[in-house]
Amino acid sequence: MSTAITLADLDDLDTLVPLLQRHDEERRRPAPASPLEDTVRPLLEGQPHGAIWLIGPRRSPLGYVLVTFGWSRALGGREAWLDEIFIRPSVRNRGIAKEVTNAITVSLAKAGLKAFHARVDIQDVRARKFCEKLGWKIEDQSRILTDFL
């Protein structure tokens, strides 16, 4: 792999926040109810619920990947969700996202991961094509139903 990835920790919070803001702005996502820092702090502290990898140089990253974890009895183990991936617009369409996602997938598989999922908006053709380039399949047998609390 030619693009470096680094598991982010609390020392990376100030570097990560502007990237999170840009991601949310591009997605036209409303500001979170909690301060943005609080939405990722547990992951940076090493909580088992997820992790964030910085892409490229740690001091000036090209982007990040945020993965969350769960457990599936049906799968017989840990599953992960590609919750967010952000690449700075100036370096997009160079295969960086695919390269780092594949590297993270390999690493998580070696650690026993059973499945890696992505929740993709039906209208988001770009995200769906990205997942298809990774070799991920659309699971027609299920839909995600959510109760927002």
142 has pLDDT over 80: no
pLDDT score at 50: 96
Is 87:62 a contact under the CB 8 Å cutoff? yes
pLDDT at position 22: 94
Contact 53, 100 (CB under 8 A): yes
Q: What does the alpha-carbon distance between residue 40 and residue 119 come to, in Å, rounded to a whole number?
A: 19
pLDDT in tens, 98-117: 999 999 999 999 999 999 99
Q: What pLDDT score was predicted for residue 89?
A: 96
Q: Hey, what are 136's tokens?
A: 């991920």
Chain segment 16-70, per-residue pLDDT in tens: 999 999 999 998 888 777 788 999 999 999 889 999 999 999 999 999 999 999 9
Give the Cα separation of 131 and 82 in Å (integer): 10
Contacts of 2 (CB under 8 A, 6+ apart): 99
Token pair in block for residue 1: 């792999």
Grade residue 138 by pLDDT with cuts at 50, 70 and 90. Answer: confident
pLDDT over threshold 70, residue 1: no
Q: For the structural domain made of 5-133, what CATH number should be given?
A: 3.40.630.30
Q: How many residues does the chain have?
A: 149
Task: Quickly list DSSP for 54-117.
Answer: EES-SSS-SEEEEEEEEEETTTTEEEEEEEEEEE-GGG-SSSHHHHHHHHHHHHHHHTT--EEE
- What ranges do the domains of the chain cover? 5-133
**C-alpha of 79 from chain center:** 13
